[in-house]
Structure 1
Amino acid sequence: MPSFDVVSKVDLSEVDNAIQNVRREIEQRYDFKGSKCSLERNDEELVILADDELKLKQMHEVLQGHLAKRGIEPSVLDYKPAENAAGQSQRQKVGIKQGLSKELAKKLVKEIKDKKLKVQVAIQGDELRVTGKKRDDLQDVIQHLKTRPDEQPLQYVNFRD
Structure 2
Amino acid sequence: MADNHAFDIVSEINSAEMHNAVVQAQHEIAVRYDFKGTRASIEYNKKDNNLTLLADHKGQLDTVIQVLKEKMAKRGVAVNALKRGKLEEATHDSVREILTLHTGIETDDAKKLVKQIKQIGIKVQAQIMDSKVRVTGKKIDELQSVIAYLKENGPEYPLQYVNFT
Aligned-pair identity (%) = 43
| 1:32 match | 35
Q: Distance in 2 between matches of 1:101 and 1:151?
A: 13
| 1:104 match | 109
* Count of residue correspondences: 160
1:88 aligned to 2:98? Answer: no
Q: Distance in 1 between matches of 2:52 and 2:40?
A: 11
Q: Distance in 2 between matches of 1:5 and 1:149?
A: 14
Q: Distance in 2 between matches of 1:138 and 1:86?
A: 52
TM-score normalised by L of structure 2 = 0.94
4+ residue segments displaced more than 3 Å? none
The question of whether the paired residues in 1 share the 8 Å contact of 2:13 and 2:78 is answered with no
1:52 aligned to 2:57? Answer: yes
The question of whether the paired residues in 1 share the 8 Å contact of 2:8 and 2:164 is answered with yes
TM-score normalised by L of structure 1 = 0.96
Deviation at 1:62, TM superposition (A): 0.4
Deviation at 1:74, TM superposition (A): 1.3
Gaps (5+ residues) in structure 1? none
| Cα RMSD (Å) | 1.0
Q: Distance in 2 between matches of 1:94 and 1:73?
A: 14
Q: Distance in 1 between matches of 2:127 and 2:157?
A: 19
1:35-67 Cα offsets, whole Å, 9 max, x none, are 111111112010011111111010010011100
Task: Give the counterpart letter for 1:146 in structure 2.
Answer: K
1:101-129 Cα offsets, whole Å, 9 max, x none, are 22221111111101111111000011000
For 1:1-161, what aligned pairs fall within 5 Å after superposition? 1-42=4-45, 43=47, 44-160=49-165
Task: Give the counterpart letter for 2:117 in structure 1.
Answer: I
Deviation at 1:86, TM superposition (A): 0.9
Secondary structure of the structure 1 residue equivalent to 2:164: strand
Q: Distance in 2 between matches of 1:147 and 1:114?
A: 14
Q: Distance in 2 between matches of 1:134 and 1:15?
A: 35
